[in-house]
Structure 1
């Protein structure tokens, strides 16, 4: 019984410490200029997904990690861009779903996203308040041979 109590106490403490570590940053080392998403389909029957593009500026090199959007999680990839810097999250039908703890903590509306990045070897989170919808893209499937 005593072991069960101790285990319960440690579980509760660990849960609170996890929530405390997910604080959102107000002043990240970058500035988001635009964020938008497009739904895409094609290439093969039943294949579809969504790309979220985030244009930003910064004097520092930023190590982006993940994006949390529409109850899903995707890795962020830095892509070349002529104007601003660009990171993209690629979501597909089999993208990872946001776990319940983060879903409740983030409490995102349909137009909001959270991005995670590393600064001084610490994982930090920033909320993008408006992700605009772009046009849907259809990629025609390859011709049958």
Structure 2
């Protein structure tokens, strides 16, 4: 009787661990999307307040029938918005970086540290990306697909007006 229980519990554990490993790779990247990216770049921007900064990532595609949905870039994600100021198929994703200019109270008495904000523990994106890589999601035939862009160029500003 003990052998049957042992085999039953072992079988359940094997099934549980095999299901966990399968769920990690559920997002498949497309190799040949139904569009071509004609321009992909990003630039950094600084806001008017201290510590306000971020990235603006822009993609131009050649197929007007495809709708770009989201972008994953530098361990962040954002919705892509179509740029209506141009006749081209341009999509822009804006990332606001967290403000790191915070005053923390460090004291031996934990009660005096009560007003400190908790650190931002953002969820990880489901992709491993280099600094110049991004993954865009797009909608085709009422389903979401993903494509990895490997050469997102940084657009440098001169700083001169």
Query: Do the aligned partners of residues 53 and 59 (structure 1) sit closer, same or farther apart at CA in structure 2, a change above 3 Å counting?
Result: closer
Distance 1:59 1:65 in 2: 13
- CA contact 2:64–2:89 (8 Å) conserved in 1: no
- CA contact 2:42–2:56 (8 Å) conserved in 1: yes
Other-structure match for 1:26: 31
The structure with the largest strand share of the pair is 1
Query: Do the aligned partners of residues 15 and 136 (structure 1) sit closer, same or farther apart at CA in structure 2, a change above 3 Å counting?
Result: farther
Larger Rg: 2
Secondary structure, aligned partner of 2:81: strand
Distance 2:157 2:90 in 1: 20
**Stretches of structure 2 lacking an aligned partner (at least 5 in a row):** 1-5, 99-119
Q: Does 1:108 align with 2:129?
A: yes
**Stretches of structure 1 lacking an aligned partner (at least 5 in a row):** 139-145
State the aligned residue count: 132
Q: Which has the higher contact order (CA 8 A, sep 6+)?
A: 1
Shift of 1:97: 4.6
Distance 1:121 1:63 in 2: 11
Moved more, 45-54 or 81-90: 81-90
TM-score normalized with structure 1 length:
0.74
TM-score normalized with structure 2 length:
0.67
Give the one of 16, 25, 46 matched to 2:22.
16
